[in-house]
Structure formats: structure tokens, C-alpha cells
A and B are shown apart, each in its own frame.
Chain A
Amino acid sequence: QKEVEQNSGPLSVPEGAIASLNCTYSDRGSQSFFWYRQYSGKSPELIMSIYSNGDKEDGRFTAQLNKASQYVSLLIRDSQPSDSATYLCALGDYGNNRLAFGKGNQVVVIP
């Protein structure tokens, strides 16, 4: 089983600020990485996928991948109260035909 670590506790950010979430993983051979957002009581929703080193931007979201250091991060610019949710990091576990999920990071955007 691939290990995916999201160690930070709940993150509180003021509205308009940048929220930064980090995720580290154990398998250096991992090739595909995903960020999901899960609102309380709802199912996960795909925000971003990233496969190559560097940054990938989609609206206010930027995913950053560094395979050498085995981490993937998510930046949320101009945070809004509607961004308050749990963010799940996942990576493709081809060998086991599944996604390996981290435990998630809760983000609270304070108006």
C-alpha cells in the first residue's frame, strides 16, 4: 500500500489570503496525483490532477508537484468562505488498481 501523508492540522485562513496544503508520499515511482475537495456531509469532488513536475494552475487553484522530494501541494489563492472544506490528496496506485488517499486537511476560511 502506498503511503500518503497529510500531517497538518486544521488550517484557518482569513478571507482573501492564500491557503497552502502539503502532501508527501512514500512511493518514488508514483506518476499521477490528485486533489479532491470534500464538503462536510458530501462526497469528494475532483479539483486538480497533476502528472508532471512543476506547477499546474486552474483558476484560483495551483497544484505543485516535486517528484524528487516526493511532495505535492495545493495553493488556494484569494480564499473564499466557500473554500472551507476538507482537501484530500490522492495518488494513483497502479499496482493495486486504486487511488491511495491521505487523511485530508480541513481548511476554514474566516470572513
Chain B
Amino acid sequence: GAVVSQHPSWVICKSGTSVKIECRSLDFQATTMFWYRQFPKQSLMLMATSNEGSKATYEQGVEKDKFLINHASLTLSTLTVTSAHPEDSSFYICSARPIPGEETQYFGPGTRLLVL
């Protein structure tokens, strides 16, 4: 149980284009999902908390207009990197929390983004 999928697993795009990443909880409902970014050999960095049916909560320094998050259902959250630039190239990982009130998070496999 507690399986989280992400799509696509990797994407290469040209600078200036937008990229959408999907995060799905396959066998449970998640009112809260999280989006992280990880650069090579660095720690996980929380970008934003995605709440079903409401606006996402962004961490300090993360541009909400650049990283658009939509959590339209209890099993799907999407992250759109708008007008991507080479510095946005990173490993984007989502996680989902199955049980409200408990902090356990299950991670998706991640999406590797390369912006040329």
C-alpha cells in the first residue's frame, strides 16, 4: 500500500517552455501532498505544500507564479514549471500523506528535469 506515482519520470525541454509534472496517490487518498526539489548531492528542499481544494503553501524563496501547483482531487497534484530555465534543472519529488493528523509521507519516484 501507500504507492505514489509521478509522471513523467524524466523530461528534457527548451528554455522558456513550461513543464507539467503529475503526482498521483494510487491506493489512498491524500488531502496533502508535498513538492520537493533536490539538486545533485544536496538535501531535499521543500518547495510547497499542496492542499486539496485550496491554494498551495509555498516555502520562502519559491516563486508561486513560476511553480504552479494544482491539487484538484484527493489523488492528484500537479506542478507546472513555467518558463523553465537551465537553473530549474533538478530532481523534483512529490510525496503524499495518507492519514490526516499523522506525519508519515510516502514519496513518488521523482521527475528529473533538464532544461536546455
Is B truly associated with A?
yes
Could you mark each residue 89-111 of chain A with 1 if its beta carbon is under 8 Å from any beta carbon of chain B, else 0?
00111100111010110000000
Determine the chain A residues whose CB is within 8 A of the CB of B93 once the complex forms. Answer: 43-44
A55 at interface (Cβ–Cβ under 8 A)?
no
* Beta-carbon nearest neighbor of B43 in chain A: A103
A26 to B27 alpha-carbon distance, docked (Å): 35
Question: Shortest Cβ distance from B26 into chain A, in angstroms?
Answer: 15
A91 to B104 alpha-carbon distance, docked (Å): 9
Determine the chain A residues whose CB is within 8 A of the CB of B105 once the complex forms. Answer: 46, 99
Please state if B106 and A98 are interface contacts (CB–CB under 8 Å).
no
- Considering residues A32, A91, A98, which has the most beta carbons from chain B within 10 angstroms of its beta carbon? A98
Using A32-B102, A43-B108 as known contacts, say yes or no to A98 and B34 having CB atoms under 8 A apart: yes
Using A43-B109, A44-B44 as known contacts, say yes or no to A97 and B49 having CB atoms under 8 A apart: yes
Give the number of residues in B that approach A within 8 Å (Cβ atoms). 18
Chain A interface size range = 20 to 34
A44 to B110 alpha-carbon distance, docked (Å): 9
Determine the chain A residues whose CB is within 8 A of the CB of B34 once the complex forms. Answer: 98
A49 at interface (Cβ–Cβ under 8 A)?
yes
- Considering residues B34, B43, B44, B93, which has the most beta carbons from chain A within 10 angstroms of its beta carbon? B44
Picked from A42, A99, A104, the residue with its CB within 8 Å of the CB of B103 is A99
B32 at interface (Cβ–Cβ under 8 A)?
yes
A99 to B49 alpha-carbon distance, docked (Å): 11
Question: Shortest Cβ distance from B31 into chain A, in angstroms?
Answer: 11
Q: Would you list which residues of chain A between 26 and 48 have a CB under 8 Å from chain B?
A: 32, 34, 36, 41-46
A interface residue numbers (CB < 8 A to B): 32, 34, 36, 41-46, 49, 88, 91-94, 97-99, 101, 103-104
Extra A-B contacts (7), CB below 8 Å, given A34-B103, A44-B44, A45-B107: A43-B108, A43-B109, A91-B103, A92-B102, A97-B32, A99-B103, A101-B43
B interface residue numbers (CB < 8 A to A): 32, 34, 43-44, 46, 49, 57, 91, 93, 102-110
